[in-house]
Amino acid sequence: GEDVEQSLFLSVREGDSSVINCTYTDSSSTYLYWYKQEPGAGLQLLTYIFSNMDMKQDQRLTVLLNKKDKHLSLRIADTQTGDSAIYFCAEDNQAGTALIFGKGTTLSVSS
Amino acid sequence: GAVVSQHPSWVICKSGTSVKIECRSLDFQATTMFWYRQFPKQSLMLMATSNEGSKATYEQGVEKDKFLINHASLTLSTLTVTSAHPEDSSFYICSAGPGLAGVTDTQYFGPGTRLTVL
């Protein structure tokens, strides 16, 4: 079935770049997403990429998509303490009617 | 931008009681809303798709008689957890999109409702 996998933890120093990786199984996904969840809060859509794109850049965020390997990554440049949160990778389900989420990567930024 | 609200943000109830959670799209109309559940340190799991004016579509393994969904208008969907038990304690999140039904590229999430059942 559809599945999305992420590493659970990432720890970086302030000012460094963070790279969060994700693999997915459904090659028919039209969009792939990155969401951010701060403690006790709901989800915030950070960015998404259309499946026919390889890369998308939005200020400090860079999304890379390797469709052949079904691998998605999110790079955060100049990581700040405010970036500490859980980051979820998600893909469309096969019917295109909902989102399938990974378990989330907890990003910890130390000063 | 589009805003989705949920009420209440946190609810504590006794075992055996029912709890209603509201999800509202504040500045757009949503034909379809989604309900997710999130256990601690786990991913969000889609529970059901709520369609305005028709019955909800439940994911496999979700009891429709226990989790009652009503989508009475284009801006409001409710999830009622009936006869709640401690194992129902979780974070419930809804999402809605201003796009066409079934299009997921512009989903906006509510802030979530934390349910604790004693």
Give the pLDDT confidence of B51-72 residue by residue, as tens digits: 888 889 899 899 999 999 998 8
- State the Cα–Cα distance between residues B107 and B25, nearest whole angstrom: 11
**Minimal CA–CA distance to A1: which of B67, B49, B60?**
B60
pLDDT over 50 (residue A64): yes
pLDDT at A2: 62
Rounded CA gap, B83 and B16, in Å? 4
What residues in A contact B34, CB-CB < 8 Å?
Answer: 98-99
Nearest to A72 by CA among A16, A31, A17, A13: A31
Q: How many CB atoms sit inside 10 A of residue B73's CB?
A: 13
Distance CA B40, CA A44 (A): 18
Q: What is the least distance, in Å, from the CA of B112 to any CA of chain A?
A: 5
**Measured between alpha carbons, how far is B18 from A110 in angstroms, rounded to an integer?**
43
pLDDT digits (tens, 9 = 90+) for A76-103: 999 999 999 999 998 877 666 667 888 8
pLDDT value of residue A63:
97
Q: Is B58 on the interface with A (CB under 8 A)?
A: no
Q: Please tell me which residue, B99 or A19, carries the higher pLDDT value.
A: A19
Q: CA B54 from chain center: how many Å? A: 16
Q: How many CA atoms lie within 13 A of B20 on its CB side?
A: 7
User: How do residues B6-58 score in pLDDT, each as one tens digit?
Assistant: 998 889 899 999 999 999 999 888 878 899 998 776 778 889 988 888 889 89
B14 in contact with A at a CB cutoff of 8 Å? no
CB contact under 8 A, A42 and B34: no
Q: How confident is the model at residue A14 (pLDDT cuts 50, 70, 90)?
A: very high
CB pairs below 8 Å between A and B: how many?
Answer: 56
